[in-house]
Amino acid sequence: MTDIHADIEAIRREQGSRLLVLGHHYQSPAVLRHADVIGDSLELARSAAASTAGRIVFCGVHFMAESADILTTPDQLVYMPETGAGCPMAEMADDYQVEKAWRFLQPHGGSFLPVVYVNSSARVKAFCGRNGGSACTSSNAAKVFQWGLAQNRKIFFLPDIHLGTNSAHDLGIPDDRIVIYDYRQPNGGLTPADVERATVIVWGGFCPIHVAFTVDQVREIRSRWPAAKIIVHPESPKEVVRIVDAHGSTAQIIKYVQQAPDGSTIFIGTESQLVKRLAAENQDRLTLKPLHASFCPNMAKTNEPNLLRVLRDWPDRNRVSVPSNVAAEARSCLERMLAL
Ligand code: SF4
C-alpha cells in the first residue's frame, strides 16, 4: 500500500530548494503539512516573488497561482494540484465588463483610480495596472485606498462589495459616498449623479463563504455567550462587521487570536478550515468556535492525492501560465501593492 504522505515528502526532500510548495490558510491540515510556506494571499504572493525555486506548487485557488506566475520569472513554472479550483468572487468581474464600466465612469465626476482585490483574474489586474492602479488584499485595502485618496482620486474598487464598503467605512467615508456598481445592470444601475457624488465606487461581487455570516447569528451568540468576543473577516456584510468586536483579514484574525488573554472564548466568522485549525492549535488556552460553519468548496478541491500527482508527473494541464502581455500589466498593479 502506498503512503501518500511519505511519497510527497520524499519528492520534496529530493527536489530541495528547486521546489516551493505554498499553502493558503484555508487548505486542509493534510495539505498544509506539506507546505513550505503557509499564509494569506499577501504573504504567499511575497513568498512567490522572493523565491528562486524552478517549480512552485500553489495549494489555493486559481487567481493566487496566477499572481505567483506573474511575480516570478519566465523560467519558474507554477502548478496547481487542481486547476479547477477557482474563486466565485473573482469570476464575478470579467475584464470585458470592467472595461465597459470604466468607459461609463470616466466622463463623470472626476478622476478615478482602480484598486483591485487580489481575488481577481490576471486580466482584471492587467486593466488595473495599465490605468495606474494598485492591487490590495484584505490586510492592506484601507492603506491602498488612502494612497489613492491622497492623490485626490476617486476609488473604483473591485470585485468585493463588502471589502470595498467596509474599507471605505474604516476610513470614515460616509455611506452615501460609497456607491455600488451592480455589474448585472446597464451602467451598473447608476446615474451620472450617483457617480459624481461617489468617493468610492464598489463593484457588486461577493464571497459566498463570507456572506453566510448574519446579524441574527451575532445576536444569538451574544445572548448565549455574553462574555465571548466575535471577530469576522471584512468580506462579511457591513451590518455584521459593524456590530462585532473586531474585523480583520486572515492574518489579522490569527494575530487577534494569538493576543487574546488565556481563557477567552472567541467566535470567528471566516472560512471554517482556518477556524478548526486555530481551535486545535490553541485548545489548551482558548475556546475558539465558528460564528457559523462555512467551508470554501474550491479550496477543498486540493488534496494529498492530487498534490502527489502533480509532484510526480508535472502534467502540463496543471500549469498556470499567464500570457506575457497580460502578465506585464498585471505585474505593475501587484508590484505597486507590494511597494506600498
Ligand atoms: S473563500 Fe471566498 S474569496 Fe476565498 S476562494 Fe473561496 S470563494 Fe473565493
Residue 109 pLDDT: 61
How many domains, in total, are found in the chain? 3
Q: How many A from CA of 160 to the centre of ligand 1?
A: 11
CATH number at residue 73: 3.40.50.10800
Q: How many A from CA of 207 to the centre of ligand 1?
A: 6
Q: How many A from CA of 94 to the centre of ligand 1?
A: 16
Residues 94, 183 share a domain: yes
23's CB contacts (< 8 A; 6+ apart) are: 31, 32, 34, 35, 37, 38, 39, 59, 60
Residues 123, 62 share a domain: no
Q: For residue 14, what is its C-alpha cell?
A: 529530493
Q: Is the CB of 61 under 6 A from ligand 1?
A: yes
Residues 94, 29 share a domain: no
Phi, psi torsion values for 79, nearest 5 degrees: -125, 155
Residues 60, 13 share a domain: yes
Structural domain includes residue 173: yes
Residues 71, 8 share a domain: yes
Tell me the residue length of the chain: 340
Query: If residue 10 lies in a helix (H) or strand (E), which one and from where to where?
Result: helix 4-15
Q: Is the CB of 160 under 6 A from ligand 1?
A: no
Residue 117 pLDDT: 97
Q: Is the CB of 158 under 6 A from ligand 1?
A: no
Structural domain includes residue 337: no
- Dist. CA 157–CA 204, nearest whole Å: 10
Q: How many A from CA of 247 to the centre of ligand 1?
A: 17
Q: Which domain range does residue 183 map to?
A: 90-203
Q: Is the CB of 65 under 6 A from ligand 1?
A: no
- Dist. CA 80–CA 337, nearest whole Å: 24
The structure's pTM equals 0.94
Structural domain includes residue 264: yes
Residues 190, 110 share a domain: yes
Residues 314, 248 share a domain: no
Structural domain includes residue 256: yes
Residue 106 pLDDT: 83
Spatial contact of 209 and 298, defined as CB atoms under 8 Å apart = no
Q: Is the CB of 322 under 6 A from ligand 1?
A: no
Q: Is 66 exposed, middle or buried (0-12, 13-18, 19+ CB in 10 A)?
A: buried
Residues 193, 149 share a domain: yes
Residues 199, 109 share a domain: yes
Residues 105, 195 share a domain: yes
In the chain, which residues have pLDDT < 50? 1
Could you say which of 187, 203, 219 is where a domain stops?
A: 203
Could you say which of 170, 203, 236 is where a domain stops?
A: 203
Residues 284, 221 share a domain: yes
Which amino acid, one-letter code, is at 95?
A: D
- DSSP letter for each residue of 197-237: H-SEEEE-B--TTGGG--HHHHHHHHHH-TT-EEEE-TTS-
Query: If residue 32 lies in a helix (H) or strand (E), which one and from where to where?
Result: helix 29-32
pLDDT per position as a tens digit, 133-176: 999 999 899 999 999 999 999 999 999 999 999 999 999 999 99
Structural domain includes residue 334: no
